């Protein structure tokens, strides 16, 4: 395991735990998440903007230039140019470092922060980045009674938040060994696991799983045109493409849609946190299944998604949907109580001819009957399912379910489906299972080789799937390894004979001792 990664995680966890202790009893766990991530974002964009301007000025010959020391009046001269390049603007007095430095003496700190957040969002008004900045700080309510019943109490909490986030040794977020924002989100989910899924099927995708899926969807490619996630959550799956391919290798950007408003804001924040410019991402808010936002942008060369498991959707109660070009080809809609395969059909529809999609699925979609069986029939008969990967249980926060991954392609090289049983590919890490680098490599290599491997991988002709009722459960095709210990019957019988003989000898000896004792008494 990478030492740098674990050191960064440990430091991040320590800081979050310290903040939690400071706020314990006043801020609900779910709301606390928003304050930590919001302040982390505020610090990041402040340092990101200051670093960018410092670099520009020093490159121009002003070696001692420091944007944080500039007066607001002087800084305004380059405002329009900066907004055009970065998508937002922050005055020197509004930078995280300067607000933090004055915080202990600022009796109106809550109002100061509220004005700063409003000014940052407002800086993009009327520009191309307006939609990317709008509402980013809505969930960070610095005037909430949850922080304290009085202004003084609220400000006391806010000072502690600023100091804790400010002391965190983040270095360069874009160059960090871990996804710091994603790691913070993951840890917060762990801390408040009892409410982790309260928004309905929302389960943060662990970074190791995100990396594996990104690698699979871009296998054999050095760059891709556009990447897409129809249920993007906090954006962890999308962001892995930059890590896997390298910076700038997603040519036309990152696209996603999220129905939960808070998580939608987190995703946009996460894009900025990873230094993805506003012109390179388009994250929409809304219901992907009934109101898709990127119809003018599809098809997508790489799609990854971990849609909410078995949630309700409109289904056949909306007569329009059966004629929707995304769902119509299957001739049937996913059940109203289980939207899993509705997402799958949507993904297939928007996948490029030469593209690959990796979709995390609830295991029930692999074998359930009714409408879901008919959808699987359509997918198999048209040779869209490239592989099915069974993941280990207890990977995701909020659920212990052993999920699976369906790999979809429109241009396959054979009429077969690869099944991979990776259910034992994990290590126990704390109270959750985790895919190590070795685990991920083994799964990835099996996906690439597309060959049979005893108890691990099986390439199956689609005709067999049809004969088996279009059941695509991995356990139906990959033989489980027999972990029972082999027994040598001859050796076992010999051992039993020796035991019986010895037992007889001991019994004879005991009888002799008892007889002697009885003789002494008479």
Q: What local confidence, expressed as pLDDT, does residue 68 receive?
A: 95
- Scored b (16 or more CB within 10 A) or e, 293-307 reads bbeeebbbbbbbbbb
Same domain, 237 and 324: yes
Q: What local confidence, expressed as pLDDT, does residue 181 receive?
A: 60
Each of the 522 residues of the chain gets a pLDDT tens digit; together they read 456 667 777 777 887 787 777 766 666 666 777 788 788 889 888 988 998 899 999 999 989 999 999 999 999 888 999 999 899 999 999 999 999 999 999 999 999 999 999 999 999 999 999 999 998 888 888 998 888 889 999 999 899 889 988 887 666 555 555 556 656 666 765 665 444 444 444 567 888 899 999 999 999 999 999 999 999 988 889 989 988 998 889 999 999 999 988 788 888 888 887 778 889 999 999 999 999 999 999 999 999 999 988 899 999 999 999 999 999 999 999 999 999 999 999 999 999 999 999 999 999 999 999 999 999 999 999 999 999 999 999 988 667 889 999 999 999 999 999 999 999 999 998 788 999 999 999 999 999 999 999 999 999 999 999 999 999 999 999 988 765 666 678 888 888 888 888 888 888 888 788 777 776 655
Sheet containing strand 404-409, strands side by side:
281-285, 254-258, 227-229, 300-305, 351-361, 404-409, 385-390, 416-421, 457-461
Domain-embedded: residue 483: no
Give Rg (Cα) of the chain.
29
DSSP-derived letter for residue 93 is G
Find residue 302's DSSP bridge partners: 227, 356
Domain-embedded: residue 482: no
Q: What is the pLDDT of residues 361-376, one digit of tens each?
A: 999 999 999 999 999 9
- Per-position DSSP letters for 343-374, written without gaps between them: HHHHHHHTEEEEEEEEEEE-GGGGT--HHHHH
Q: Which domain holds residue 512?
A: 488-522
Same domain, 177 and 288: no
User: The CATH number of the domain where 271 resides is what?
Assistant: 3.40.50.150
Which residue's structure tokens are 């320590």? Answer: 14
Same domain, 347 and 464: yes
Same domain, 128 and 246: no
Same domain, 470 and 498: no
Domain-embedded: residue 223: yes
Per DSSP, the three-state class of 429 is: strand
Q: What is the pLDDT of residues 415-470, one digit of tens each?
A: 999 999 999 999 998 788 999 999 999 999 999 999 999 999 999 999 999 999 99
Same domain, 271 and 179: no
User: CA-to-CA distance for 522 and 509, rounded, in angstroms?
Assistant: 21
Domain-embedded: residue 78: yes
- Count up the domains in the chain and report the number: 3
Q: By CB neighbour count within 10 A (0-12 exposed, 13-18 middle, 19+ buried), where does 499 fall?
A: exposed
Phi first, then psi: what are they for 351, rounded to 5°?
-85, 135
Same domain, 154 and 185: yes
Which among 237, 242, 324, 323 has a CA at the least distance from the CA of 288? 324
- Scored b (16 or more CB within 10 A) or e, 170-191 reads beebeebebbbbbbbbbbbbbb
- Per-position DSSP letters for 35-71, written without gaps between them: HHHHHHHHHHHHHHHHHHHHHHHHHTT-TT--GGGS-
Q: Distance of alpha carbon 160 from its chain centroid, rounded?
A: 29
Q: What local confidence, expressed as pLDDT, does residue 321 receive?
A: 96
Domain-embedded: residue 41: yes
Per DSSP, the three-state class of 175 is: coil
Same domain, 460 and 330: yes
The sign of the torsion formed by the CA atoms of 274, 143, 112, 100 equals negative
Phi first, then psi: what are they for 4, rounded to 5°?
-60, -45
Which among 131, 180, 135 has a CA at the least distance from the CA of 283? 131
Phi first, then psi: what are they for 432, rounded to 5°?
-135, 160
Q: What local confidence, expressed as pLDDT, does residue 44 receive?
A: 84
Domain-embedded: residue 199: no
Domain-embedded: residue 200: no
- Per-position DSSP letters for 217-238, written without gaps between them: HTTT-S-BS-EEETT-TTSHHH
User: The CATH number of the domain where 35 resides is what?
Assistant: 1.20.1260.30
Same domain, 260 and 382: yes
């Amino acid at each position: 395991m990478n030492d740098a990664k674990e050191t960064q995680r440990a430091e991040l966890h320590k800081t979050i735990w310290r903040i939690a202790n400071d706020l314990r009893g006043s801020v609900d766990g779910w709301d606390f998440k928003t304050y930590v991530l919001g302040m982390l974002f505020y610090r990041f964009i402040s340092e990101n903007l200051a670093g960018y301007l410092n670099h520009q000025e020093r490159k121009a010959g002003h070696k001692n230039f420091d944007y944080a020391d500039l007066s607001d009046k002087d800084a305004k001269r380059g405002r329009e140019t900066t907004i055009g390049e970065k998508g937002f603007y922050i005055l020197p007095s509004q930078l995280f470092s300067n607000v933090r430095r004055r915080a202990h003496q600022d009796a109106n700190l809550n109002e100061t922060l509220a004005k700063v957040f409003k000014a940052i969002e407002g800086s993009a008004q009327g520009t191309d980045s307006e939609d990317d900045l709008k509402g980013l700080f809505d969930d960070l309510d610095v005037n909430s009674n949850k922080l304290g019943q009085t202004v003084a109490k609220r400000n006391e909490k806010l000072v502690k938040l600023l100091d804790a986030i400010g002391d965190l040794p983040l270095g360069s977020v874009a160059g960090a060994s871990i996804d710091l924002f994603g790691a913070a989100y993951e840890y917060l989910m762990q801390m408040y696991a009892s409410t982790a899924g309260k928004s309905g099927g929302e389960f943060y995708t662990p970074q190791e799983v995100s990396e594996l899926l990104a690698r699979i969807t871009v296998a054999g490619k050095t760059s891709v045109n556009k990447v897409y996630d129809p249920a993007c959550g906090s954006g962890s799956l999308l962001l892995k493409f930059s890590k896997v391919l390298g910076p700038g290798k997603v040519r036309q950007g990152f696209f996603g849609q999220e129905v939960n408003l808070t998580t939608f804001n987190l995703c946009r924040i996460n894009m900025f946190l990873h230094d993805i410019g506003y012109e390179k991402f388009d994250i929409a808010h809304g219901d992907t299944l009934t109101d898709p936002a990127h119809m003018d942008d599809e098809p997508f060369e790489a799609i990854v998604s971990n849609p909410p498991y078995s949630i309700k959707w409109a289904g056949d109660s909306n007569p329009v949907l059966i004629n929707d070009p995304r769902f119509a080809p299957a001739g049937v809609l996913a059940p109203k109580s289980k939207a899993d395969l509705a997402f799958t059909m949507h993904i297939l529809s928007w996948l490029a001819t030469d593209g690959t999609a990796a979709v995390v699925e609830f295991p029930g979609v692999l074998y359930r009957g009714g409408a879901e069986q008919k959808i699987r029939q359509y997918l198999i008969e048209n040779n869209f399912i490239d592989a099915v990967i069974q993941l280990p249980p207890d990977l995701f926060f909020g659920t212990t379910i052993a999920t699976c991954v369906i790999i979809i392609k429109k241009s396959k090289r054979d009429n077969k489906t690869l099944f991979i049983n990776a259910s034992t590919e994990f290590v126990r890490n704390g109270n959750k299972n985790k895919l190590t680098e070795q685990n991920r490599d083994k799964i990835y290599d099996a996906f690439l080789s597309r060959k049979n491997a005893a108890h691990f991988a099986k390439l199956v002709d689609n005709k067999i799937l049809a004969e088996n009722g279009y059941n695509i459960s991995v356990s139906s095709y990959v033989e489980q390894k027999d972990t029972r210990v082999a027994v040598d019957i001859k050796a076992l019988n010999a051992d039993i004979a020796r035991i019986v003989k010895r037992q007889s000898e001991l019994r004879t000896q005991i009888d002799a001792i008892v007889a002697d004792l009885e003789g002494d008494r008479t």
